[in-house]
Amino acid sequence: MDKTELIMRRKNVRAFIEADPFTLEVMRPQAPVKNPDTGGYIEQPDVPLFPQKKVARIVQNVRRYTDGLVNAEAGDIPNSEYRLVGVHTLDLEVNDKFVWLDENYRVTGIHKARTESVFAAIDLLGEENRG
């Protein structure tokens, strides 16, 4: 792809994102640290990425509208596949977390072949359940 086409694709991605944007504040998980007293590992809190506050867009990954629920014995279970679309400069890695519409999401995969945007698979973790 030549440089002119890449610039135009990036402009199209930015216009697509700005049609329905949200501010993405990424939390990056840290590796556990070994406790010298007990020898076990201690979970570290997630670290926010500063000063990155980029706009991104969440889109549904299916072509047809679905209600996004599976009826199970325990009740309705969310079953919606969403993708995150961001500008090409977005710093995003697998296992990064963010909040969208008061629910927690985690990045499960990133499409590496794209040069005009960041296209990531995300997984719904649910509402915050820690006090």
Q: What does the pLDDT look like over 40-99, one tens digit per residue?
A: 898 888 888 876 667 899 988 776 666 667 777 877 776 667 899 999 988 899 999 998
DSSP code at position 61:
S
Other CB atoms within 10 A of residue 86 CB: 22
DSSP code at position 86:
E
Q: Give the HSE-up count for residue 23: Cα atoms under 13 Å, Cβ half-sphere.
A: 5
DSSP helix, strand, coil percent of the chain (3-state; round to 5): 15, 40, 45
pLDDT tens track for 49-64: 876 667 899 988 776 6
Gyration radius of the chain's alpha carbons: 18
Tell me, what's the pLDDT at 80? 66
- Cβ-in-10-Å burial (0-12, 13-18, 19+) of 48 comes to middle
Among 23, 63, 58, 30, residue whose Cα is nearest residue 44: 30
Domains located in the chain, CATH noted: 3-30+42-63+70-126 (2.40.10)
